[in-house]
Structure 1
């Protein structure tokens, strides 16, 4: 089988990592990269550094990794679709529902493969949590609570914290529980003087009755990435910074020593931090997209429809924060 000819557009903070992975991916040849600002991180590795998506298309690529700012996804994605080029597009799919719908249609209507780079799905801790939930180890899922906070990244200028960060939590929550969002409400704040919000607190309801809440900000010196999944048999805590998954089981042994009971509670059970393999999530993401292009229908790729649904939920967060009437999500 001949290698897939890949291109990369966007050589910023994320683009440089995509270049590294694509350069070493089996059955894939990274033939050229493109960025109007040039190769400031020096990741091209001797490959042509082109100016725009049209020159990249002329290099006869089979598919393209799109790592440009969100506001340019529609322009770049449309050009690729019109040329018959498959694309993996960095999250979020677009900056609005209307734009995301147009972009998804460009690929779907032409029978092209499109994917969205929601990388948290490929974090080993969340992969293990989803598998264990699917096997019934948690029982009914009652609640998913996420915390995602840290200092402001200077590279982000075109969207706020909802579209840049909260979309991670929206997608991973729907994916790990295998439920859709039914509704979501949110409050936002603008504390850093930027046009876009830098803090959001959101509460949602999923189709299986699971309640979710997401606390996300760009205002903390502490970098935190935590997903707490509580169900009838206990709680999973996934730390996606370290890719650790810890299980807190409900207790089955009664604590008869009153002092310990008052201190620790009466339902404390086993606590296990699982030993799991920890491949790099970005590499797994690219491997899955490659596998799909090679005809593996079981490849785990975030579809354009799933990316669109995440944009719907994110947009509803912002509508809710403005006091607008909620719209149905599912």
Structure 2
């Protein structure tokens, strides 16, 4: 079978990694790269370096990856949809949910694979976590809390930390729990002197009843990527920076829990650190994109799911502007 002809739009700090992996994936041939800003990391090599999305389409591509600044996502994706090109757009899908819905609908109407790069779905720790939650290893899930903190990124100037980093946490939480959000509230801070927030604290509830909290900022002198899931049988801690997953068991009557009809408390039990293969998440995502184009079912974030994620983040920002009021997420948009 002939390889899928791939085009890459954007070879900045994220796009350069897409270029590296697209060159190495079986069944995919990277045939063209486009970036109006040139090739700052010199990743094009012998692949033609073009100026924009129209030239990329003209190169005769089957699939495309869009890794340019957020404000350009929608226009590029719509051009690729019109050309019949299956596309993976880096998160967020667009800089607002109305445009995101337009993009999602364009790919749906044309029968094309449209995916969004919520790459945490391919983090080995979160994949293990989702599998174990689905198997009931934590029992009934009560709460999912995430922390995503790091230093200030000078390269990002078109969105704030909520749309840049917060979309990761909203998507991974809904994906791990297999439930959409029903409500959200938030507080923000502006410490860098820019128009966009650089710190956000969000609390919410999923349609399943699970409560959530997310602490996200660009103001920490260290990098933290942690997801904590607390349930009746114990707590899972996923460190997505290292790919590690640990389970802290509830030591209170663990063998009789299923038959207990009243709450008997929580105590410290055994701690288990799981061993499993740790593949690079971006490689897993791009391989899944290839497989989806070839007709396979995958764990990729669909564009429709990505629109929901963006709606939740936008609702959180609306909440913050209103002093932290609780905002319901419209079920009709899901």
> TM class by shorter-chain length?
over 0.9
Return the alpha-carbon distance in structure 2 between the equivalents of residues 251 and 329 of structure 1. 40
Question: Aligned residue for 2:63?
Answer: 63
Runs of 4 or more above 4 Å deviation: none
Which runs of structure 2 are paired with 1:159-178 in the superposition (5 Å)?
A: 159-178=159-178
Return the alpha-carbon distance in structure 2 between the equivalents of residues 253 and 139 of structure 1. 13
Task: In structure 2, list runs of 5 or more residues that go unmatched.
Answer: 255-264
Deviations along 1:272-322, one digit per CA (max 9) or x if unpaired, are 1101110000000000010011111x2221101100100100100110011
TM-score (norm 2): 0.93
**SS in structure 2 of the partner of residue 121 of structure 1:** helix
The CA deviation at 1:105 is: 1.4
**SS in structure 1 of the partner of residue 2 of structure 2:** coil
CA contact (8 A) 2:184 2:328 kept: no
The CA deviation at 1:329 is: 3.5
The CA deviation at 1:112 is: 1.0
Which runs of structure 2 are paired with 1:201-280 in the superposition (5 Å)?
A: 201-252=201-252, 267-280=267-280
Return the alpha-carbon distance in structure 1 between the equivalents of residues 224 and 92 of structure 2. 20
The CA deviation at 1:16 is: 0.2
Deviations along 1:243-299, one digit per CA (max 9) or x if unpaired, are 000000000479xxxxxxxxxx97111101101110000000000010011111x22
Question: Aligned residue for 1:257?
Answer: none
Deviations along 1:159-202, one digit per CA (max 9) or x if unpaired, are 00000001000000000000110000000010010110000000
**SS in structure 2 of the partner of residue 120 of structure 1:** helix
Deviations along 1:99-124, one digit per CA (max 9) or x if unpaired, are 11111111111111100000111100
Task: In structure 1, list runs of 5 or more residues that go unmatched.
Answer: 255-264
Question: Aligned residue for 2:329?
Answer: 328
Q: How many residues align?
A: 319
Q: Confirm or deny that 1:306 pairs with 2:305.
A: yes
Deviations along 1:37-81, one digit per CA (max 9) or x if unpaired, are 111101112100000000000000001000011100111011101
The CA deviation at 1:97 is: 1.2
CA RMSD of aligned residues (A): 1.4
TM-score (norm 1): 0.94
Return the alpha-carbon distance in structure 2 between the equivalents of residues 249 and 325 of structure 1. 33
**SS in structure 2 of the partner of residue 125 of structure 1:** helix
CA contact (8 A) 1:5 1:28 kept: yes
CA contact (8 A) 1:319 1:325 kept: no
Which runs of structure 2 are paired with 1:1-330 in the superposition (5 Å)?
A: 1-252=1-252, 267-296=267-296, 298-323=297-322, 326-330=327-331
